[in-house]
Structure 1
Amino acid sequence: MNRIVKALAISAVALSATTGAFAQTQWQKDHPRRAEVNHRLANQNKRIHNEVKEGEITKSQARQLHKEDRQIRQEERDMAAQNGGHITKQEQRTLNQQENQVSRQIGK
């Protein structure tokens, strides 16, 4: 009986630790600065697809633009990992400048 109580206690502690980690992960993904950067990336993705569909850019150009966006997204994830799940205002500015460069290439 004592073993069962200990096992249940250990399970409860493990469950609460997992739940806490999940809540923190959700906050990290939904951080306002990260959300803004990721929203812009999603918008650019739609613009690239639209430009290909309309024949404004080639599939090769689209691949290159998507590659640049993926690199920006990875950089955003790396920055967030170093800062407890969020990015600083300066990091956001840096990412926005990179997104602006890609944005100017879309539909040239």
Structure 2
Amino acid sequence: MKKQILITLSLAAALTSAAVAGSASAMTHWQGEHPRRVEVNARLAYQHHRIAEQRREGELTRRQAHEIRAEEHGIRAEERFDAARHHGHLTRAEQHRLNHQENRVSRQIGR
């Protein structure tokens, strides 16, 4: 009986892995590197670098850096959610909203 359960669980895990791999490969190269997504994510990466640099220089406390990174994480989650809804790309309105949020975070880093 235990052997059947283990076999069933193994089969379910294998099917789940195959489904996830299949959906990931369904995304085209263009969708993964849509210009609006690239721009938003490049800004997030640069801001992450600025946070680390200012933290290293002592211009940001550990708590400030943590709070700003949490906001960045939220922006990145929104970007992924928006892209998932539109088959891998962002609309202009979504890009504008995300850029506005990134501008706010950028000002927090610069203070």
Same fold flag (TM > 0.5): yes
Match of 1:34 in 2: 37
- The yes-or-no answer on 1:57 pairing with 2:32 is no
TM-score, normalised with respect to structure 2? 0.76
Aligned-pair distance for 1:20?
Answer: 9.2
**1:1-108 counterparts in 2 under 5 A?**
22=25, 24-108=27-111
**Which whole-Å CA distance do the structure 1 matches of 2:106 and 2:98 have between them?**
12
Secondary structure of 1:104's counterpart equals: helix
Q: Distance in 1 between matches of 2:54 and 2:87?
A: 37
CA deviation profile, 1:33-60 (whole Å, cap 9, x unmatched): 0000000000000000000011101011
Q: CA deviation at 1:63?
A: 0.4
**TM-score, normalisation: structure 1:** 0.78
Give structure 2 stretches of 5+ with no counterpart.
1-20
| Residues in 2 aligned to 1:67 and 1:19: alpha-carbon distance in whole angstroms | 31
How many corresponding residue pairs? 91
What displacement does 1:19 show? 7.8
Q: CA RMSD in A?
A: 1.8
